[in-house]
Amino acid sequence: MNEFVGTQMRGWDAATFRTASGDPSMRSTVIALTVLESAPAWERLRSRIDRLTLMVPALRMRPLYGAIGFSAPRLAVDPDFDLDVHLRRYRLPTGGGWQALLDDARRMSLTDFDQNRPLWEAALVEGLPGGQAAFLLKLHHSIADGQATVLIGLNLFEFAADENPDEPPPPPAPPAEDVGVRDITYANLADNLRRGTDLAVSTLRGAIDFARGTVTETKATWGRAWDTMASIGRFASVPDSPMSPVMSGRGTTYRFAAFDLPFTGLRAAAKNEGFSVNDGFMAAVAVGLDAYHRRHGVVIEELRVNVPISLRGDAGDRTGQASNAVSIARFPMPVAGLTPVEHMRVAHDLVARWKAEPAVHLADPLAEVSWFVPVPMLAQAARASDVTTSNVPGPPLPLYLCGSRMVACYPLVATIGAALNITMVTYDGTAYVGVSADDRAVPDLQDLVEDVRAGFAVLTGEPVGPADRYAPRGDTRGLEETVPED
């Protein structure tokens, strides 16, 4: 087989690429917005990012398509890879500030990738108040989940302002050549045949084990089989509509908001009650969304929540082959009439229950089955979710980009069919929260952000004043506070 045809996208990666390409409401982008204390030297930054593309091979790989559209694209090294196509720099107009930067990140996120080139782009943004700068890194979700994005960042950022002479050199640029549609199609057919054979063999082995278990441990064997089938049914069930009567609209555009808070208060609020940081994070979001619905005169008992569950370190972890290692748990979560502690307990129990579901560890096989489901049906199922929450642990120490210290980092993730995406990344003692809101579902984003911020204040017991409402905390005070328009 031609070595330059690369490898075929599999499972979750392939399903994400397919749905994002087939429906604009399923656009699947991840933007890491980092604020730097000053603008790094351009040539040093350019060299650093070139090194990153050598350390992370997916950043030099483009999708390849065969003649038969039913196969997933392949990822192979782009023989025409050009760093300057993916990396740019510009300056905000005079008077631009925090909201102008969020608006640029929004435009960047809503712009589709060139699907014949590597699926990423980046921009250095200069001209922020106080001499600060920003670095925007945009990735397609099919090549990176939240934890993979952090790992990419750790290959880009450094632990000191000075260059590290002991840092290992990057590997040489990988070889690449053009390949024809015929070679790609043959490679796809060979992979599909191999996967079909593997599936048949594993099915036969499973049937033999099931038959043997039926004879030796009848009750336990049939119980496991029933539990697995029931779990797949719960995992693959398709809800009819969102549960929120307020955030019910869906469109193809969304807006960003962001805020931060001391991580120590959030962690203490959760740990003091015997819960995890993620339990506290989800509880704060639930308190905020309850308040937002009451603002609209509605008391909603439950909202449908998506929660990514990491499979890294699991027996089914494919991180050696792919950049996504997650499954998505989707469940109704109570939001009204609970105390913060009760919210944490509910979040903890729901996530723990879904982590124990057998189907969670079948994410890739179920994603493969999604190829038989039309994209409009998948998009309709996604639009029935109210909110996606994700909590990604980041580095606890300060990082530097080409000599400039990173003073803030915000995760800005596309809504992917839901009304909201609320993602939190922790870095150097601070929790950074990015909010993405569908324009039709949440026309009053300022109000929603106020309520979600208040939810964190209720949970942590720390006051949230209006002075830093839209500007990052601490070292990023120089960014001007600009209240976003509805």
Domains: count for the chain: 1
Q: Give the CATH number of the domain where residue 272 resides.
A: 3.30.559
**Closest by alpha carbon to 461, among 243, 283, 247?**
283
In a domain, 321, yes or no: yes
CA distance 425 to 448: 20
Give the DSSP H/E element, type plus range, for residue 407: strand 404-413
pLDDT at 96: 81
pLDDT at 365: 66
In a domain, 322, yes or no: yes
Confirm if 77 and 174 have CB atoms less than 8 A apart.
yes
Confirm if 57 and 77 have CB atoms less than 8 A apart.
yes
How many Cβ atoms from other residues are within 10 Å of residue 319's Cβ? 16
Q: And the tokens for 268?
A: 């203490």
**Closest by alpha carbon to 302, among 274, 326, 330, 266?**
330
Sheet of 74-77: strand order equals: 7-8, 74-77, 61-64
In a domain, 308, yes or no: yes
In a domain, 472, yes or no: yes
Q: What is the mean pLDDT of each run of 10 residues along the chain (486 residues)?
A: 84 83 89 96 96 94 86 92 97 89 96 94 94 95 75 88 85 92 89 79 73 78 72 69 95 95 95 97 97 97 90 46 63 94 96 79 66 76 93 92 95 96 96 96 96 95 54 41 35
Backbone phi, psi, residue 35, to 5°: -100, 130
The residue segments making up the domain with residue 286 are 254-389+435-476
pLDDT at 384: 92
In a domain, 462, yes or no: yes
Q: What are the CA-CA distances from residue 144 to residues 29, 75, 104, 140 (Å)?
A: 9, 13, 22, 7
Q: Report the DSSP pairing between strands 430-438 and 420-427.
A: antiparallel
In a domain, 121, yes or no: no
Confidence (pTM): 0.88
**Location of structure tokens 């000075």:** 162
In a domain, 104, yes or no: no
Beta strand residue intervals within 179-276, DSSP E = 254-262
CA distance 267 to 275: 9
In a domain, 52, yes or no: no
pLDDT at 466: 45
